[in-house]
Homo-oligomer: A and B are copies of this chain.
């Protein structure tokens, strides 16, 4: 098996609580476990942001077209305010949020900045009585518009120092805590880049709340007609969800047979030979998670589920998913596989617990990688520990559904 990064530690593993005695240790999946306190209620406070962005301990993660700056291929690179000052200016948070909105000019390009949070384990920065730690920011340095030349210059300099923007998905190489921070930055940079216009009125929007909100300003000084006044927009009266980052709930489920002895897995055509995984899909409007699990399993495999139990969850920043992991059990007369409804899968199949357990031992890897040395051609291949699919299958063979290990 190729080397795989560690998973995050569950929160407070040292606390022996009634919940942990009854339900066992919490499963913390990859991309969760961030060490940062996001202090989200301070995002609209420009005095806080101005002070945080200039503190000597503050660290900046840079992205170029959503690719993070890394060193040695597998480690997030850290930059200073001095590094990126030429791109973002002396103080991007000099004005209050209401002043920034009042002076909105859609013809100005402002590189996206995200305030990620405070690492409270690090000394240094303090704000008011309760908030301290090392501030973390992410900055988009994609060379474009008015900052094209400055970004290109900066990127050349960073390359000279041996740093590079990582092309692939980062999820097979980062330490757990860095992966969680990277996921936060990527999700928010992507959301801002993907939504430059207001879905309610079609006009351009402005990033506020340090990257966690997009607002539709009532005036745009780039518009000469009507003194820049824009038509009314529904998002300006009351709170609208479309101003806030989007996260798409998805369900992913290990399906157990009615007798508890078999596990259902499926495969997509584009996957390597012998590779299978748990079924998954997007939750639809006005479905509970439990209903979405039953619907997806029926659509993709024809199988009818009874009881569904939620196991754990995983953020997945490609681009904006929340994976909700569940275990479901087929009803006795609902186990026949039918692939003809949705036709998303090339195959779906019942595997014995023994086959799955052996494949978890010798056949896991990232999608683009070869299996480990003990793997024998023709054997089942499965996703790595960093995927919640792997954690769900592991839970099932270890007795999550039945109370005792399945083999």
Interface residues of A (CB under 8 A from B): 11-12, 15, 17-20, 22-23, 26, 28-29, 31-34, 38-41, 130, 180, 183-184, 186-188, 191, 194-204, 212, 234, 240-242, 244-249, 256, 258, 260, 282-291, 294-295, 299, 305-310, 312-315, 317, 319-320, 322, 324, 327-329, 331-332, 338, 340-343, 401-403
How far apart are the CA atoms of A288 and B294 in the complex, in Å? 22
Q: Find chain B residues with CB under 8 A from A17 CB.
A: 258, 306-307, 329, 331
Q: Find chain B residues with CB under 8 A from A294 CB.
A: 11
> Are A15 and B306 touching (Cβ within 8 A)?
yes
| Partner of A290 from B32, B38, B245 at Cβ < 8 Å | B32
Q: In this complex, what residue of B is CB-closest to A341?
A: B41
> Are B11 and A290 touching (Cβ within 8 A)?
yes
> Are A282 and B244 touching (Cβ within 8 A)?
yes
How far apart are the CA atoms of A285 and B117 in the complex, in Å? 13
> Are B188 and A197 touching (Cβ within 8 A)?
no
How far apart are the CA atoms of A147 and B373 in the complex, in Å? 68
> Are B310 and A402 touching (Cβ within 8 A)?
no
> Are B245 and A285 touching (Cβ within 8 A)?
yes
> Are B184 and A285 touching (Cβ within 8 A)?
yes
A333 to chain B minimum Cβ distance, whole angstroms, is 10
How far apart are the CA atoms of A262 and B34 in the complex, in Å? 29
How far apart are the CA atoms of A361 and B134 in the complex, in Å? 48
Please give 5 more A-B residue pairs, beta carbons under 8 A apart, in addition to A12-B307, A15-B331, A20-B306: A11-B306, A32-B290, A184-B286, A197-B202, A289-B322
How far apart are the CA atoms of A218 and B340 in the complex, in Å? 32
| Partner of A180 from B29, B284, B286 at Cβ < 8 Å | B286
Q: Find chain B residues with CB under 8 A from A312 CB.
A: 288, 290
Q: In this complex, what residue of B is CB-closest to A181?
A: B286
Q: In this complex, what residue of B is CB-closest to A298?
A: B37
Q: Find chain B residues with CB under 8 A from A306 CB.
A: 11-12, 15, 17, 19-20
Contacts A241-B248, A299-B41, A403-B22 hold; do A194 and B234 have CB atoms under 8 A apart? Answer: yes
> Are A313 and B290 touching (Cβ within 8 A)?
yes
> Are B341 and A314 touching (Cβ within 8 A)?
no
> Are B329 and A19 touching (Cβ within 8 A)?
yes
> Are B194 and A199 touching (Cβ within 8 A)?
yes
> Are A183 and B286 touching (Cβ within 8 A)?
yes
How far apart are the CA atoms of A194 and B209 in the complex, in Å? 22
How far apart are the CA atoms of A315 and B284 in the complex, in Å? 10
> Are A18 and B401 touching (Cβ within 8 A)?
yes
> Are A19 and B327 touching (Cβ within 8 A)?
yes
Contacts A199-B199, A248-B247 hold; do A322 and B283 have CB atoms under 8 A apart? Answer: yes
| Partner of A260 from B18, B32, B34, B195 at Cβ < 8 Å | B18
> Are A242 and B288 touching (Cβ within 8 A)?
no
Q: In this complex, what residue of B is CB-closest to A188?
A: B285
> Are B246 and A246 touching (Cβ within 8 A)?
yes
